[in-house]
Amino acid sequence: MLSGITVIDVSRALAGPHAAMMLADLGARVIKVESPEGDDSRGWGPPFILDADQRESTYFLSCNRNKESVTADLKTAEGRLLLERLVRRADVLCENFRPGVLGRLGFSAERLRELNPGLITLSITGFGHDGPEGGRAGYDQIAQGEAGLMSVTGPEAAVPTKAGVPIADVLAGMYGAFGVLAALHERAATGRGRVVRTSLLAAIVGVFAFQGTRHTVAGEVPTATGNHHPAIAPYGLFETADEPIQVAVGSEPLWRRFAPIVGLDPAHPRFAANPDRVANRQELQAEIERAFSSASAERWLALLDGAGVPAGRVRNLKEVFAWEQTLSQGLLIDVHHPSAGLLRLPGPPLRFDDQAYAGAREHHLPPPRLGQHNDSVRAWLDGLEQATRQEDLRGR
């Protein structure tokens, strides 16, 4: 779908690379410009694949599929010249330097606009591009804490807990890719590029949903409530005779179907409506787990499914990636890595129409080795520049 769009990715670690990978999954050509030492995440491990001189982290493999890699030291004239040549031919530039760094390297927003008036620049920072703390460096866990996510995550208010994935980075990348697509749509009408900005702080604040309005509208300060929903009951994790299951009774009709299964009267005054059930959550949970303790998770899941009550087990990642439903959605892809051979990676989460595979590509490219495409990308630039010179001569 993005065939013909060229993206230059000078970002590193995760937020920017994730955004660029999303565009690559949709068919854009993404050229990753790395320092001679490589993206920081190439060294983030264990686990690693291969050994010593060819070592590659599985972290890097997670966010750089469908890209080419060229190396350039942007502190040198030669490195800056290569980036300038790339920018002239690009549609999108992705960067996640601290505010002002790209400008000091000679690529301010004004300079980029001069080089390519149609360029869309995606700029991702830790805490924003301005404001009293706009210059702070941002890493995912720091942002999770500063932006409040850890205060509503975990077993209880006294135990702030980070998410199990770098969610601030991933969300910032997703928002960034979303902004780029909007800017590409605008450019089709105006011919002009634009700077798209987001941050790890913005990404977290942007997904608080009902937790955000609990404070801005109701004046409450939300805290962690473990594995149970703070505003809906019963909605959470419950123990059975052998393993926990999750149940989501998100409406009154669901409650009326669920209650008899566990031996409760749906019209009982303490539980008749959701506000009553939330107010008496502890008693309700005890009643449900007392019933659930009499049979296995499999038995309860079958009963709940038969009644149309949303429920599920808690899987580890080995189970998820072996699950037939996961496989049926094309969420794992096989790629041939130039050094490691066949690798299986988590794939794009989007499908279109009747495609059996995920993303807009039928065939995915492996994450590149450092500098793997130095020669081919420079040859491509040389060819384009030679063709431009020839057109200029004919025009004269």
Q: What is the pLDDT of residues 109-148, one digit of tens each?
A: 999 999 999 999 999 999 999 999 998 988 999 999 999 9
Q: Is the pLDDT at 92 greater than 90, yes or no?
A: yes
Mean pLDDT of 384-390: 89
Q: Is the pLDDT at 359 greater than 80, yes or no?
A: no
Q: What is the pLDDT of residues 318-331, one digit of tens each?
A: 999 999 999 999 89
Q: Is the pLDDT at 259 greater than 70, yes or no?
A: yes
| CA-angle at 132, arms to 121 and 213, nearest 5° | 85
CATH topology classification for 6-207+327-391: Rossmann fold (3.40.50)
Q: How many residues does the chain have?
A: 396
Q: Is the pLDDT at 363 greater than 80, yes or no?
A: yes
Mean pLDDT of 200-218: 97
Mean pLDDT of 70-78: 97
Contact 51, 206 (CB under 8 A): no
289-292 CB contacts, 8 Å cutoff, 24+ apart = 289/238, 289/239, 291/261, 291/262, 291/263, 292/238, 292/239, 292/240, 292/241, 292/245, 292/262
- β-partners of residue 57 are 48
Q: Is the pLDDT at 52 greater than 90, yes or no?
A: no
Helices (H) and strands (E) in the chain, counts: 16, 13
Q: What is the pLDDT of residues 185-206, one digit of tens each?
A: 999 999 999 999 999 999 999 9
| CA-angle at 136, arms to 125 and 114, nearest 5° | 45
Q: List the catalytic residues.
A: 169
Q: Is the pLDDT at 64 greater than 90, yes or no?
A: yes
Mean pLDDT of 36-52: 90
Contact 371, 340 (CB under 8 A): no
Residues 6+ apart with CB under 8 A from 368: 32, 64, 67, 68, 69, 338
Beta strand 235-238 pairing with 245-248: antiparallel
Mean pLDDT of 242-265: 97
Q: What is the pLDDT of residues 260-312, one digit of tens each?
A: 999 999 999 999 999 999 999 999 999 999 999 999 999 999 999 999 999 99
| Second-level CATH architecture of 235-314 | 2-Layer Sandwich (3.30)
> pLDDT averaged over the chain?
95
Distance set, CA 328 to CA 324, 325, 331, 358, 363 (Å): 6, 5, 8, 10, 17
For the record, the structure tokens of 117 come out as: 């008036």
Q: Is the pLDDT at 358 greater than 80, yes or no?
A: no
pLDDT computed for residue 294 by the predictor: 97
Scored b (16 or more CB within 10 A) or e, 256-281 reads ebbbebbebeeeeeebbebeebbebb
Q: Is the pLDDT at 360 greater than 90, yes or no?
A: no
CA 112/CA 115 separation, integer angstroms: 5
Return the SS3 of 228.
strand
Per the model's pLDDT, the better-predicted residue between 391 and 139 turns out to be 139
Provide the percentage of residues in the chain whose pLDDT is more than 70: 99
pLDDT computed for residue 312 by the predictor: 98
Mean pLDDT of 219-248: 96
| CA-angle at 227, arms to 224 and 233, nearest 5° | 95
Tell which residue, 337, 243, 239, 250, has the closest CA to residue 289.
Answer: 239
Topology match between the domains 6-207+327-391 and 235-314: no
Q: Where are the domains of the chain?
A: 6-207+327-391, 235-314
